[in-house]
Structure 1
Amino acid sequence: MSDDIKYEYKSVQTMRGLENRSIAKTQKEGAWELVGQTQGTLRTTLNFRRVKPETLLSKAWDVFRGLGPGKQRAVAAAVAVILLLSAVGIGIAASHSKGDTSAENTVATSTKSGTVNETPTRSSTPTPSGKIDQVITAENNKELAALLKVGDYCDASMAQFAARYQDQKIEFDGSIANMQKHEKYDTRYDILLGPGDAGPNTGVGPAFKYDNVNMFDLNLTGTNPPSYVSEGDKFRFTAKVGTYNPKQCLFFLTPISTRLR
C-alpha cells in the first residue's frame, strides 16, 4: 500500500539561524514533512515532502487508465463531443453578449448631456506618530508592540513598519539568535536578533539583522559590558530602522547601542 503513495516536493532556502522558524512556517502551510537539509556558509536549503492531494481530475485519470483500450477510445470520443458542443455554446453566448453591450453603449452615449468636473482627492502618505528623534519602544508605540509578537517573520506588517518608520530609532529587549563571520572579513559579523530571551529558539517577531558589523559598531554598554557577544546573549537593543527584504524575510537594522541585561 505504501508503494502507491504519491508525494510532492519543495525546497526552501533560509538564512543560517532561521532554520527552526522556516521549518515551522512551512509545516503550517500544509502538512509538509522535513526530509533533509543542506547547510551552506550563509544559507540552509530545507527539503520537504507531503502526500500529494488527490483531485477529481487525478481520480478520473486513474479510472480512465484502468479501462481497456476500446473503452478508452469511446470515452475520449465522448469527451471530444462534449468539448465541441461547449465551445459552440460559448461562442453563441459571447455573440449575444456583444450585441447587448453595443446597444447599452449607444443608449449611454445618446443620453449624456454634459461633463461633470470633479476635484481629485489628494492622497497623502501617513506620517509616523511622534518626532523623528523619538526612540520608539513597545511601551509607547502599539505598532512596534504588535510587530514584536508576530508569529510569521515573513508577515506583511514587516514591510509596512519598515517603510513607515525608516531611519527612526527603536528600542527593545532581545537576544542574539545567530551569529556568523562575514564572508569577506574575519573580524566582522552578520548577526540575527530576535525579540525576547529565546536566542536561537526565537519563534516570534521579525528576523532582525545587523549586517557586516564589528564589536565596536554594537556600542556595548551597561554594568561590566562584555568585549564580545555570542548566540543566546540577552541585551536591550537600540537601533535605527533600515529596510525589509521580503525575499529573505530579513528586517535590517543599524546598531546604535547594545546594553547588557
Structure 2
Amino acid sequence: MADEIKYEYKTMQAVRGTDGLVIAKMQKDGWELVEQAQGLLRTTLNFRRPKRPLPRLLIGTAVGGLVILAIVIGVAAALEDEGEDKDAANKPTAATTSAEPSATSAPTAARSAATEVITPQNNPEFAALLKTQDSCDNANLNFAAKYVGKTVAFDGSIVHMAPHGAYDTRYDFLLGPGDEGPSTGIGPAFKYEDVNILDLQLTGRNTPAAVRTGDKFRFVAEVGEFNAKQCLFILNPVSTEIR
C-alpha cells in the first residue's frame, strides 16, 4: 500500500535501573519503545520510528543517475572487452603476480587496527567525558550505552585500590584520568572489579610485581556498563602500560 508506514528499528541495552533515562533520551529523538526485556544485569530496549520519505526531487535525481550510471558501465565494459586481447600478451602470469607483495595491505590493516581503539585524540565524546566535573553526569551513561564492548585508551592513574571481598590477591581498582591519583577531581570514576595483577597485563620497561595507589599508567580497556546508582563506570582491562 502507498500509505503504509515503514519503520526503522534500533536496539539499546541499559543497566537495570537506568532504562528510564535511555527511554527518555530515545523518545526525545523521535523513537517509540516497542519492547522491553529485563535481564539479570541489563535491560534490552527495542525502539522504532517512521522512516522519513525521500523527497520527490531526490527520487527523480536518483533515477536519472541510475540511467546515466548504466550507460557509463556499458561503455566501460565495451572498452574493456576491446582492450582485453591487446593486454593479454603483457599480462603477468599467476605465479609472478602472487610473488609480488602488496604495497597497501599491511598499512591498511594497521590503520584499521588503530581506528578500533577510542582515544581522546580521535573521539571528541571520549575527550569531553574525561574532563567532566561530575562522575554521575549523564554523559557517562550515554557513552557506555553507545560504545559498550569497544576499546578505549587513556593516560590515567590509580585513585584507590582495595581487596575484592575476602581475597588477598584480587582487587577492585578505582581509576581516573590524568596523574593526580587519590587527588583526581575530574572525569568518570572508572572501575576494574575483581581483578588480580596478572589481569592488568602490565607492559613497559621495569614492569613491577605489584601496583599501588597513585601509580600512573596508559590504560587500555573494554567499555562495560555504567552503574548510575553508584556512579561507577565499569571497564575491563586489556593492557596497562607503565608511564
Shift, 1:226, TM fit: 1.1
For the pair 1:135 / 2:117, whether they are aligned, the reply is yes
Structure 1 CA distance for aligned equivalents of residues 138 and 166 of structure 2? 32
1:162 to 144, 149, 152: 144
2:236 is matched with which residue?
A: 254
Q: Aligned residues: percent identity? A: 55
Residue 220, structure 1, aligned to residue 202, structure 2: yes
- How many residue pairs are counted as aligned between the two chains? 143
Secondary structure of the corresponding residue to residue 187 of structure 1: coil
> Relative to 1, partners in 2 of residues 1:131 and 1:213: Cα closer, same or farther, differing over 3 Å?
same
What TM-score do you get using the length of structure 1 for normalisation?
0.52
Q: Which runs of 5+ in 2 are unaligned?
A: 13-111
Q: Give distance in 1, aligned partners of 2:10 and 2:130.
A: 27
- 2:8 is the alignment partner of 1:122: yes
Q: What's the offset of the Cα at 1:125? A: 6.1
What does residue 100 of structure 1 align with? none
The two structures have a TM-score, normalised by structure 2, of: 0.55
What's the secondary structure of 2:143's corresponding residue? helix
Distance in 2, matches of 1:250 and 1:151, equals 14
RMSD: 2.2
Q: 1:222-256: per-residue Cα shift (whole Å, max 9, x none)?
A: 11111111111100000111111000000001111
- Which residue of structure 2 lines up, in the alignment, with residue 146 of structure 1? 128
Q: Distance in 2 between matches of 1:125 and 1:247?
A: 23
Give the letter for the 1:237 counterpart: F
Cα offset, 1:124, TM superposition: 4.0
- Give the whole-Å Cα distance in 1 for the aligned partners of 2:9 and 2:227: 26
User: Structure 1 unaligned runs (5+)?
Assistant: 1-115
Partners of 2:114 and 2:242 in 1: CA distance: 26
Flag the 1:133–1:216 CA change in 2: closer, same or farther, 3 A. Answer: farther
Q: 1:244 to 1:131 in 2, by over 3 A?
A: farther
Q: Residues 174 and 195 of structure 1 are in contact (CA less than 8 Å); yes or no, is this contact kept in structure 2?
A: yes
